[in-house]
Structure 1
Amino acid sequence: MKAKQISGVPQQKNGGFHDTESQKVFENSSVAVQKFEILKEKFFSVNQWKSYCSEKLADFQLYDSYGNHLSRKPEIGDFIRIDIPGLGDAEAKGYDWVKITSIFSEKEESYEKIIMCCSPSYIPGQMKNFHIAHFYGARASSCFMIAREGNYIKAAVYGRNERPNFEARFLDKIRNIFIALGGMFGFSKIQWKSLTDGLLEL
Structure 2
Amino acid sequence: MAEDIVAPYIPAQYTGEETETSHTLEAPDEETALAWFDILALRLKDVNNWNKWCGFLSSGFQLTDDKGNKLALAAAEGQFIQIDIPGPGPIAGNGYDWVQIEKLEQVKLNERQEFVVLQARPAASPFNNMNGVAHFLDKEATSSFVVKRDGLTLTTTVYGRNEVPNVHVHETADRIRNAVAGSAGAIGISKLQWKALVKGLFDFLDKKT
**TM-score normalized with structure 2 length:** 0.89
Residue of structure 2 equivalent to 1:71: 72
Question: What letter corresponds to residue 88 of structure 1 in structure 2?
Answer: G
Question: What letter corresponds to residue 197 of structure 1 in structure 2?
Answer: K
Q: Which of the numbers 187, 196, 199 marks the counterpart of 1:197?
A: 199
* 1:47 is the counterpart of 2:41: no
Deviates more, 1:112-121 or 1:181-190: 181-190
Q: Are the aligned partners of 1:146 and 1:153 in contact in 2 as well (CA < 8 Å)?
A: yes
Secondary structure of 1:112's match? strand
Deviates more, 1:163-172 or 1:179-188: 179-188
Measured after TM superposition, the shift of residue 185 of structure 1 is: 5.7
Relative contact order higher in (CA < 8 Å, ≥ 6 apart) = 1
Secondary structure of 1:10's match? coil
Change (3 A) 1:116 1:82: same
Q: Deviations over 1:155-201 (max 9, x none)?
A: 11101111111122111111111111145762221111011111121
Residue of structure 1 equivalent to 2:207: none
Deviates more, 1:118-127 or 1:140-149: 118-127
Q: Are the aligned partners of 2:78 and 2:102 in contact in 1 as well (CA < 8 Å)?
A: yes
Secondary structure of 1:145's match? strand
Change (3 A) 1:184 1:15: farther
The CA distance in 2 between the partners of 1:135 and 1:125, in whole Å, is 17
Q: Deviations over 1:56-108 (max 9, x none)?
A: 11111100111111111111111001111122213322210001111122112
Gapped runs of 5+ residues in structure 1?
none
Q: State the percentage of identical aligned residues.
A: 35
Q: Deviations over 1:91-127 (max 9, x none)?
A: 3222100011111221121111011111100011436
Question: What letter corresponds to residue 122 of structure 1 in structure 2?
Answer: A
**TM-score normalized with structure 1 length:** 0.92
Measured after TM superposition, the shift of residue 52 of structure 1 is: 2.2
Residue of structure 2 equivalent to 1:9: 10
Residue of structure 2 equivalent to 1:115: 117
Change (3 A) 1:143 1:183: farther
Gapped runs of 5+ residues in structure 2?
205-209
Residue of structure 2 equivalent to 1:37: 38
Q: How big is the alpha-carbon RMSD for the aligned residues of Structure 1 and Structure 2?
A: 1.7
Q: Are the aligned partners of 2:92 and 2:128 in contact in 1 as well (CA < 8 Å)?
A: no
Q: Are the aligned partners of 1:182 and 1:188 in contact in 2 as well (CA < 8 Å)?
A: no
Change (3 A) 1:148 1:49: same
The CA distance in 2 between the partners of 1:63 and 1:122, in whole Å, is 13
- Aligned length, in residue pairs: 198
Question: What letter corresponds to residue 159 of structure 1 in structure 2?
Answer: G
